[in-house]
Structure 1
Amino acid sequence: MWGVIPAAGLGSRIQPLAFSKELLPVGTRKDGDVERPRAVSEYLIDRMILAGATRICMVISPGKSDIVEYYGGSVGPANVCYVVQPVAAGLCDAIFRALPWIAPEEEVLVGLPDTVWFPEHGLRFLDGGGLSFLLFPVANPELFDAVVTDEKGRVLEIQVKQKNASSQWIWGAFKLTGAVMRELHDLWCERGREDPYIGTLVNEYLARGGTARAVRAGEAYVDVGTLHGYREAIQLLSGANL
């Protein structure tokens, strides 16, 4: 199983930093008997590995060599490779950069490296063999991609940063096969590669007869891409919001 991590963003909301935003220290980890700062992207990688990922593909910009230096060729049992997104061209472009290395039958996990969420094993709830989203409840869904579902968990619509969103549940990660990833890529190309967000692309995929499921298994979700979010993450990890 693959884990694809789009890590090419500029991080403009939390700059200036002297390093890539994906390496922002949030919380700590144990290195043997020594406690060390933990990069925010480690939380997503750990969750992907818990769900069965054995290969991690990090999509980075040309200037983010510090990510390569930090993670090297492996994290725990998972091998790590890197793909370069030459210019910032949106989330869809970043994710599809990994497609040439993914076989149609392989399962793929996709998440955002500047987020912290619980439960740690949440990705295990997602179905295989198609497209499924892991949902989290938030107070301000208009800041994210709210997911509207029917009573059986089928995705009806993704409301991308929409005011007065009709759902309090947003997607925080998703799972799909290489074959579905190829379908989405081909649709993206057909639409002139104009979809910067995965939500608008999935809406078109659904309108053309595609299907997606959503699982409301998330408990807490924080976007660490802002100073406010960084403070929220520290509180979350200390147990204040659990």
Structure 2
Amino acid sequence: MWGIIPAAGQGTRIQPLAFSKELLPVGTRFEGGTERPRAVSEYLVERLAHGGARKICFVISPHKDDILRYFSDRVGGVDFAFVIQPRAAGLCDAIFRAAPLIHPEEPVAVGLPDTIWFPEDALASLPDDRFSFLTFPVEEPRHFDAVVAEADGRIREIQVKNPNATSRWIWGAFKMPGRIFHELHALWLEREREDEYLGTLVNAWIACGGEAWDAPLGTGYVDVGTLHGYREALRLLGALEPATDRA
């Protein structure tokens, strides 16, 4: 299974930093018996690996070579690939940069590198044969993409940063067969790449007869891309997660 990490954004909400926001130290880990700072994106790498990913593609900008250097070694049985997004052009543009790597018969999972969520093995519960969103309850869904689903779990719509969101469940990661990944890519191209946000593309996919499913398995979710989120992540980690070894 492939994991895709879109990491080409500029991180303006938490800048200035002297490094890419995906390397922001959050919590610690032990390496060779020594406690060291842990980059926020390591949490997502760990969660993708728990979900079954053995190959992870970072989509980075030409200026984020520090991410390449940081993850250039094999980590925990995971191999890394790096794809360039020449300019920041939205989430859809970023994830579809990885399309040449994805085989139609191979599952693919996507997460956001400046988030931390629990439980860390939640992706493993998502099936390989359907398009599923891992969702989390939050207090202010208007800041995220809220997922509105039927009682059977079928997603009706995704409300993209809607101030009047009708669901408090937001997506934090998703998984699908490679075939659906390529079908979404084709739809995005057909729509002349107008979708910056994944949610609007998924709504178009559903309107065309496609199916997407809600997996409300999340218990905690923090966006570390703001100073408030950074403080909340430190609180969440202190309450829920001890420092762990990097493989």
Asked if TM exceeds 0.5, the reply is yes
CA distance in 2, matches of 1:61, 1:6: 10
CA distance in 2, matches of 1:92, 1:137: 24
> What residue number does 1:60 align with?
60
1:204-241 per-residue CA deviation (whole Å, 9 max, x = no partner) reads 00000000111110000000000010000000000079
Gaps of 5+ in 2: 242-247
> What residue number does 1:147 align with?
147
Corresponding letter in the other structure for 1:188 = W
Q: Is the CA contact 1:73–1:81 (under 8 Å) kept in the aligned structure 2?
A: no
> What residue number does 1:33 align with?
33
Aligned-pair identity in percent equals: 62
> What residue number does 1:100 align with?
100
Q: CA deviation at 1:32?
A: 2.2
1:71-91 per-residue CA deviation (whole Å, 9 max, x = no partner) reads 104221000010000010000
CA distance in 1, matches of 2:107, 2:146: 24
Task: Say what the alpha-carbon RMSD is for the aligned residues.
Answer: 1.0
Q: Is the CA contact 1:28–1:38 (under 8 Å) kept in the aligned structure 2?
A: yes
1:62-211 aligned at under 5 Å gives the runs 62-211=62-211
1:84-115 per-residue CA deviation (whole Å, 9 max, x = no partner) reads 00010000000000010110000001000000
Corresponding letter in the other structure for 1:158 = I
Corresponding letter in the other structure for 1:181 = F
CA distance in 2, matches of 1:42, 1:66: 14
Report the TM-score when normalising by structure 2. Answer: 0.96
Q: Name the SS of the counterpart of 1:12 in structure 2.
A: coil
Q: Is the CA contact 1:99–1:178 (under 8 Å) kept in the aligned structure 2?
A: no
Q: Answer with 169-178 or 73-82: which moved more.
A: 73-82
Q: Name the SS of the counterpart of 1:49 in structure 2.
A: helix
